[in-house]
Chains A and B, each alone.
Chain A
Amino acid sequence: MSDNSNLFDIDVPSQWCPGCPNFTILETLKKSFTALGLKPQDICLVSGIGQAAKLPHYIKCNFFNGLHGRALPVATGVAAANPMLKTVVTTGDGDCYGEGGNHFLHAMRRNPDITLIVHNNEIYALTKGQASPTTRSGEVRALNPQGTTAPPFNPLAAAIISGCTFVARGFTGDSAQLAELFQAALTHEGLSLVDVVQPCITWKPHPLQWYKDRAKRLPDDHDPQDRASALAMAMEMEETFYTGLYYRADPSPAFAGSCHEQRAYLPMAEQQGLSLEKTRALLQ
């Protein structure tokens, strides 16, 4: 860790279980900010509610810790109001794909300039172990003693077909690759998704080894420009978690981009309202 990473350290006691892989995501994110030369004031973290969504409290930067499921719309509002901020969402599989599922789909289409990091532990950890949208069918969870019946949601495939131009999966057991993915996502214009496989060591839907056996980097010859093969790889999540950059296309116009350009990237907080003269004229 470089000396610089202290820039984002903050003395707030963590509510996470000791040893949780969430800490890896946290440290990797701080390192990535540092590597990109960002300062705390440049960043705005937005989260919902869950274990994952507590992350903003543990980094020194601006943050808005909102409601369960609603991180993306809040972040979209932030990105619309101030294009100079690096807006990052940290969220869980329940927060993002469950309660916030509709926002997830539409954020992909709307394409705000946001980096979306999902701690995917296939469980609702904070509420004590219920199934999440990414829980595999047949697995036992707090409210599914006989095993879940619905098939899991496939966030990567959904993102690829919904117009997202940066789709990646990381694994907390491979922090070097995770750092690369975070940095690439943070510099991608428009919405970028990094779904992070994050074992929960307390509720243990699976033992750590189970993840290690399944997580594999995407093959070297995978071409992230090739949408069809990205989708094919994304569909293959039964036995293997392929990690890495699935899909990256040229950025499409970001949400509110033309408005930002017209206003010379001035934050809305600094813009003027309608003048008295113009108001009077419009009311005639």
Chain B
Amino acid sequence: MGEWSIAAAGTAGQGVQTIGEVITVAARKQGYAVFSWKEYESRIRGGQNSYRIRVSEDPKNAPVERMDIVLALNMEAAEKYGFLVKRDGLLLAPESSNKNALAMDFQALANESAGKKIFANAAAAGALAAAMGMNPQGVKSELAARFTEKGAESVAGNESAFQAGYDHAMALCKERRTPSIPDRDQRPEALTNVHEAIAIGAAYAGCRAIFAYPMTPSTNIIGQMAARWEDLGVFWEQVEDEIAAINMAIGASYAGARAMTATSGGGFSLMAEGISLAGMTETPLVIVLAQRPGPATGLPTRTAQGDLQFALNAGHGEFPKIVLAPSDPKEAFHLTVKAFNMADKYQAPVIILTDQHLSDAHFTQDIHPEESEPEYHLARDCENPPYRRYAITREGISPRMYPGQSEHLVCADSDEHDESGHITEDLFNTAPAMAEKRLRKIKAMEREIPEAFTHVPSKSEIILMGWGSSGNALFEAAEQLTQEGRRTGVIHFTHLWPFPELPPLQGEKLFSVENCAFPQLARLVRQETGLSFTGSVLRYDGLPLTGTYIRDLILESL
């Protein structure tokens, strides 16, 4: 087999999520890798949403444009998502609308088999399992597992409706080219998610507190801490606003706790002054910025990479900061540990950029925590008293103690200050010396930034340059283009600031690939290296970049 892509679509509350999750788990149990992602409207009931699943033997952790099967739970969904079906694909919908469509009245099937229309989504799941050529027992038992809490009647109803949908679709699909997903004797890697990996990575890295205000798509980070308090042990507080969130995290961090906050663009705007405070007071801080399209409220539940330049420049005045951007759960875990280590070591704010796509997507990918190690940099004692919180050193890093640790007093100030932390107006010596001390830390930070990830085969014609969430889509695009005779390489950034080194380039056509409307990465690369770009692939419809999307636009612009 190759791989199969499926979308389950319907209105919120119709069970799209359940179908998606059940198929995901069942396919994994059959021995397959699954990548899933979601796109949905910013409302609780109604609207049309879809759950996308990519099933393959080896992990293929990136979204795709076109589907082998679209399951539409209502006709509006069929209209909205019907175009996703590949030319030889299949649309399963209540009524027939085109040549790819198989009409199946899920409600009627549920009513006939289980006596109630509410089991329609079980009938639909059955139909999908049949069309996908999956092992029906596996899907059925996952479905049952989800409804055991609701009682035997619910389990039985779901089972009958599932079977009816399955049988009906099996009969209808006979004449079609449908997927076949037989059991494999394989155990896929773990099913992981970027924000979950950040939460667990933070706990592993010694994070003791998170302060946040709910904002999609960042809320599931503090959500993990709240739901898994017993496991993770990270104190969490939902606060009154993002200004409070960042200031509380700074307070906790000043007091010696590893602390973090998480938000999206709007909340991040409110945090900007706090980021500057962390820079001035040299307080370690980790901030996750989960992006969505702006400006202002924008598209609250959609994805974008439009806050890159904002993150790089957030906070008034000049101070060192670090900006990281994982593309998958494994990178998210390790970069989170690195973020806490570097925040602690350099006493500076670290921003981790994610987005809605990463917030909701599930990857098939093992994470090996032992590949990263938490490092602690708090000073255990004062080596040459009297203790001065901002002692001037060669690298610019002053030993950091916490208040109450000993008789050494820890004095921090957002005003320009002297070594002991007291306000200064000494423009001749102290103020410039302090500015230089803070900026000297950048030199040391730069040594911990690896060269940008580069895969450029010799004689490449094209290089795709991207960052963060689009990583795997870039590689798939490069693969497609190379297969089509346009040899293509990839440069992908997970470390954005301090800006990493680039390998020497050989005059390839350079394209930036970005999930936003302005070529922000191209601007950054040009600013730091002087390189110029042939063009940019920009996607700003709120959906994630895919290999095909990138490939099509590259071919158009060549």
Contact = CB atoms under 8 A, between A and B. Distances in A.
Contacts of A62: 403-404, 409-411
Interface in A230-264: 255-256, 259
Nearest to B405: A269
Contact of B255 (A54, A105, A267, A279): A267
Interface stretch (A72-80, A177-185, A211-219, A220-228): A72-80
Contacts, number: 200
A283 B190 contact: yes
Contacts of A80: 209, 235, 237, 248, 251-252, 257
A102 B240 contact: yes
Contacts of A276: 204, 369-370
B281 interface: yes
Given A66-B281, A75-B251, A282-B231, A81 B209 contact: yes
B156 interface: no
B412 A15 contact: no
Interface string B226-259: 0010011101010111011101111111111111
B244 A103 contact: yes
Interface stretch (A38-46, A117-125, A142-150, A153-161): A38-46
A127 interface: no
Contact of A82 (B206, B211, B255): B255
Given A74-B250, A76-B248, A80-B235, A85 B204 contact: no
Nearest to B378: A269
A186 to B, nearest CB: 16
A61 to B, nearest CB: 6
B208 A73 contact: no
B274 interface: yes
B59 interface: no
A1 interface: no
A56 B249 CA distance: 21
A170 B36 CA distance: 61
Given A65-B414, A106-B240, A274 B409 contact: no
Interface string A79-103: 1111011000000000000000011
B247 A267 contact: no
A63 interface: yes
Contacts of A49: 414-415
B479 interface: no
B404 A283 contact: no
24 contacts: A57-B422, A64-B411, A64-B412, A66-B247, A67-B273, A73-B239, A73-B245, A73-B247, A74-B251, A75-B251, A78-B255, A80-B209, A80-B237, A85-B403, A106-B240, A255-B237, A268-B258, A270-B256, A273-B205, A273-B258, A274-B231, A283-B197, A283-B366, A284-B190
- Which 7 A/B pairs are nearest by Cβ-Cβ distance? A77-B251, A269-B256, A273-B206, A268-B257, A62-B403, A73-B247, A81-B255
Interface of B: 190, 192, 197, 200, 203-209, 211, 228, 231-233, 235, 237, 239-241, 243-245, 247-259, 273-274, 277, 281, 333, 366-367, 369-370, 374, 378, 402-415, 421-423
Given A46-B251, A268-B257, A282-B232, 10 more contacts: A64-B412, A74-B251, A81-B209, A82-B403, A85-B255, A102-B241, A105-B240, A268-B258, A269-B255, A271-B206
